[in-house]
Amino acid sequence: MKYQIKETKDLTENEIEHILKLWDISVWNTMKSVYFRSFFKDSEFHFLMNAEENILAIMRVNFDFTLKIADTDSTFAEAVGLVAAHKKKGYGSVLVSRFKENVIQRNIE
């Protein structure tokens, strides 16, 4: 299994279609790639892929997430959209583990 990170602008048309299919959010099902790239411009996508480059699990990291704490705006990386292509195979767990290692290495909050 391969762990891969892509910025939104680097996603292929097929990857975008596959992501939307896996997320299965009805209002996004007809989203076109141009709008997808604009809507998720402040995100990066973390993939777990097999040897044939098929997506086994995906997670999106939103870098446009701000919380106001004690009148101070704080920006955090928000991990969202975790989904595995197949249930009960452990792909989501493997992706979360690799993601955690990556976040620690990059010192992302």
Structural domains present in the chain: 2-106 (3.40.630.30)
**Spatial distance between the Cα atoms of 33 and 37, rounded to a whole number of angstroms:** 6
Residue 29 pLDDT:
87
pLDDT in tens, 55-68: 999 999 999 888 89
**Spatial distance between the Cα atoms of 85 and 55, rounded to a whole number of angstroms:** 7
Residue 108 pLDDT:
80
| Arithmetic mean of pLDDT over the chain | 94
Residue 76 pLDDT:
84
Asked whether the beta carbons of 49 and 75 are under 8 A apart, the reply is no
pLDDT in tens, 16-64: 999 999 999 999 989 999 999 999 999 999 999 999 999 999 999 999 8
**Spatial distance between the Cα atoms of 84 and 23, rounded to a whole number of angstroms:** 9
pTM: 0.89
Asked whether the beta carbons of 96 and 46 are under 8 A apart, the reply is no
